[in-house]
Structure 1
Amino acid sequence: MQIVNKSALIRLAILFAVLLILAAWAGLTMFWMPEHSYNGKLQPLQNEEIALQTSLKRDIQKIADEIGVRNVSQYEKLNAAKTFLETALTQAGYEVKLQEYQIDNKLYYNLEVERLGTEKPNEIVLVGGHYDSAFTSPGANDNGTGVVATLELARIFAQKSTKRTVRFVEFTNEEPPFFWTENMGSLVYAQRSRRNQENIVAMLSLETMGYFSDAVGSQKYPFPINLFYPNQGNFIAFIGDINSGDLVRQAIKSFRRHAQFPSEGVSLPSWIPGVGWSDQWAFWQQEYKGIMITDTAPYRFPFYHTEEDTPDKIDFDKLTRVVAGLAEVISDLAK
């Protein structure tokens, strides 16, 4: 009897040790992030940030108010958004490259601009957001914020030199009915990049970035993520799959060093709901590392995919701080 008990105890001890090792691995791999999230008082915007805020507001008004609903059901408005972005990027000094593809006899476009790296031009840091909106939504936050943030960051880097190439892409057709299908704009783009053997070392997907709340309970998560993160939706999130964990940690470390704004990061299995809900998913399919920068969309934003997703719901002060911080992140990644 004593031998049986001792054997059982040994098995339990081994099981407990294995569970501890797995828990430690999960903590280090998925949840541990370098530096610390900022939790102090937000400082007044500087002059350059005030100018950035003004530009973000102007571009959101154009995308969400003047153009509004823009997708396959509002094809002319989708093309109006494409024309606006193409013109703005051209005015910023870029040569805009259009990736054209066809669905049901209609043409759709991804827009690409880049600054070639001075030392490692074949290593590409890619920043992108999708310019279509969902259903009958004017898409101010989803994804007006992401698409104008991509535009503003392109403007910031238009005259900057970086060692790696920095590329900015405005994607079409992220929303249903094209989401996670062969006609999703970012997947069409990522597949071409893989065929061309492009060395995309980091992909940043800017997705639904402008809604924040200090109210307790304003932030939701799928279980068990809710056990590890705050329930106030006042932070920006950096999210990647397990393979992109190093990129998540590198990006959030840079953000926390440069930006005085709350941030949270996580690297999770791609099957967890929400982890792959944007254009970074397309790059994962082509074995590129990619992350999403987001306010967590439906896990916080009550007007997600509705007609009430309008510019008045966006906190432009906080969005400005996020975009300014991301400019520093991109600079660090492109070193």
Structure 2
Amino acid sequence: MKNLLSIFFLILSTYANTQSKPIDSLKFINQNRIKNDLIKITQTQKSRNYQNIETLNTIADYIKSELIKVSDSVAFQPYLVNDKTYKNVIGSIGIENNERIIIGAHYDVYGNQQGADDNASGVTGLLELARLLSKEKLNYRIDFVAYTLEEPPFFRTQQMGSYIHANYLHINNIAVKGMICLEMIGYYNDIKGSQSYPIPEMNLKYGNTADFITVVQNEKSDRFGNQIGLLMKEQDLIKTILFKGSHLVRGIDYSDHLNYWNFNYPAVMVTNTSFYRNKNYHTKNDTIETLDLNKMSAVIEQLYIAIKQLK
């Protein structure tokens, strides 16, 4: 543990601001759209897990229908697993630009549950960012990618939708400035003691209240990660912390950014820290009613402004 602490704190940095502002101070977010997306993604007859392919296809069709409204191009990226077809959904804007930014979120769930925070919140953020960024003149092509098969039993395998996509980029030598993974951005708690960490000593540095969003990066994502984190922080809409750490820290690579790191692309995970605060994680209690749409909206707006300001 001593060595792990040394590794972690040597390569960990943080930038934090104060607290989230009320929703009426946000200028760009349409909360009705956010609510509608969350309902569409979570309110299915069967859970959107790998065993219910029809449900996954229904959600993929919904994501595609929303991306078609604002994207230059939209397509499925199908692939076979155990003789069954699964698919990512990809919408692109700014296709005249060569270098890309990837914004990704997985739409499948673990087990039989709504998966409101994990990860309907991330997909909702992806869709709202597509709507907002489609109105901007950008320096980069942006691919909005909704992945399937992030959850067990496929996590850390080449059957993850994000592995399929990252490998496609690698094989085709596509220039990528960086990847932003949206993983659980909807759950917050203003009560002291509501936040825990992989290393208890982190309480002293970051506090124990689950009222913030994190931008997680590894040591190879410095430039891109710092840009995203600092630009988000500048908006001062929600307390924002930037973590930089080793894969030895449990949870730091627990999502789709893992596969972009494995192909040496700069990537960050924007997350509320998942099971380190949300005890509804991977249970039937992960419902829309547990989400804080005010803070979630602030996260999306901060990301929108940060991405359009990227140089």
Please, what TM-score do these two structures have when normalized by structure 1?
A: 0.86
Q: Which of these residues, 235, 247, 251, is aligned with residue 228 of structure 2? A: 251
1:308 to 285, 290, 307: 285
* Other structure's SS at 2:88 match: strand
Aligned residue number for residue 7 of structure 1: none
From the superposition, tell whether residues 180 and 208 of structure 1 become closer, same or farther in structure 2 (CA, over 3 Å).
Answer: same
Q: What amino acid maps onto 1:126 in structure 2?
A: I
1:110 is matched with which residue?
Answer: 88
Residue 97 of structure 1 pairs with residue 79 of structure 2: no
Match 1:177 to one of 137, 149, 153: 153
| CA shift for structure 1 position 38 | 2.4
Is the Cα–Cα contact under 8 Å of residues 125 and 200 in structure 1 kept in the other structure? yes
Offset, 1:63: 0.5
Q: Deviations over 1:117-159 (max 9, x none)?
A: 66xx221111110010111121111000001110111111223
For the structure 1 residues 308 and 69, does the alpha-carbon distance in structure 2 shift closer, same or farther, using more than 3 Å as the test?
same
1:161 maps to what in 2? 137
**Larger mean Cα displacement after TM superposition, 83-92 or 125-134:** 83-92
Q: 1:42 aligns with which of 4, 16, 21?
A: 21
Alpha-carbon spacing, 1:68–1:225, altered in 2? closer, same or farther (3 Å): farther
Task: Answer yes or no: is 1:323 the counterpart of 2:288.
Answer: no
Greater percentage in helix = 1
Deviations 1:163-197 (A, max 9, x none): 12122111111001110101011011101110000
Among candidates 49, 55, 72, match of residue 77 of structure 1: 55
User: Aligned AA for 1:331?
Assistant: K
Tell me the equivalent position of 1:129.
105
Report the counterpart of residue 268 of structure 2 in structure 1: 291
Structure 1 spans left out of the alignment, 5+ residues: 1-18
Corresponding residue SS for 1:255: helix
Counterpart of 2:33, as a letter, is: S
CA contact (8 A) 1:117 1:161 kept: no
| Residue pair 2:20, 2:298 contacting (<8 A) in 1 also | no
Q: CA deviation at 1:299?
A: 0.2
Q: 1:144 to 1:204 in 2, by over 3 A?
A: same
Contact 2:177/2:224 (8 A) holds in 1: no
Aligned-pair Cα RMSD in Å: 2.1
How many pairs does the alignment contain?
307
Task: Choose the corresponding residue for 1:66, options 44, 53, 63.
Answer: 44
Partner of 1:15: none
1:183 maps to a residue whose letter is: Q
Distance 1:47 1:276 in 2: 31
2:256 aligns with: 279
Aligned CA distance change for structure 1 residues 32 and 294 (closer, same or farther; 3 Å): closer
Superposed displacement of residue 110, structure 1: 0.9
Q: 1:330 to 1:28 in 2, by over 3 A?
A: farther
Displacement over 4 Å in runs of 4+? 25-28, 46-49
Query: Quick one: percent identity of the two aligned structures?
Result: 30
C-alpha spacing 1:41/1:237, structure 2 compared with 1 (3 Å)? closer
- TM-superposed CA distance for 1:44, in Å, is 4.5
Offset, 1:116: 2.2
Q: CA deviation at 1:62?
A: 0.8
SS in structure 2 at match of 1:73: coil
Q: How far off its partner does 1:274 sit?
A: 0.5
1:246-285 residue CA offsets vs partner (Å, 9 max, x unmatched): 3222111101112421011111001211100001001011
Q: Distance in 1 between matches of 2:182 and 2:45?
A: 20
CA distance in 1, matches of 2:231, 2:304: 10
Question: Structure 2 CA distance, aligned partners of 1:135 and 1:41?
Answer: 32
Residue 216 (1) aligns with residue 195 (2): no
User: Is 2:14–2:241's contact at 8 Å kept on the other side of the alignment?
Assistant: no
Computing the radius of gyration from Cα coordinates, the structure with the larger value is 1
TM-score, L = length of structure 2: 0.92
